Amino acid sequence: MTGPAPSSPARPGDISALLGWCLDLMRQGAAADPAEIAAYQQAKARLLDQIAAAHAADDPELASRARQAAARARHASGGVHR
């Protein structure tokens, strides 16, 4: 799954697709491919970055929580913190 650039706002369809992917991985359980789980975590981090960027001015607390969650998702994927 690839998503829009972090500078564009998160769309309901993007969120829905990510939730569907999460559900699919949960159904797979221990049989889920680790590379797919890492890709999911990276996509989740990108979506959370979009949410943080969209709310940086109007809701700094929400933006901060979204950035923290993005960092946790990036860490869970084995990726680099931003």
What pLDDT does residue 82 have? 43
In a domain, 63, yes or no: yes
Q: Per-residue pLDDT tens, the chain, 82 aa: give them.
A: 455 455 678 899 999 999 999 999 999 999 999 999 999 999 999 999 999 999 999 999 999 999 999 999 999 999 654 4
In a domain, 69, yes or no: yes
What residues have CB less than 8 Å from 74, skipping those under 6 apart? Answer: 41, 42, 45, 80, 81, 82
Lookup result for tokens 């950035």? 67
In a domain, 2, yes or no: no
In a domain, 52, yes or no: yes
In a domain, 14, yes or no: no
In a domain, 48, yes or no: yes
What pLDDT does residue 8 have? 78
Domain of residue 43 covers 34-82
Number of domains forming the structure of the chain: 1
R_g of the chain computed on alpha carbons: 13
What pLDDT does residue 6 have? 54
What pLDDT does residue 7 have? 62
In a domain, 21, yes or no: no
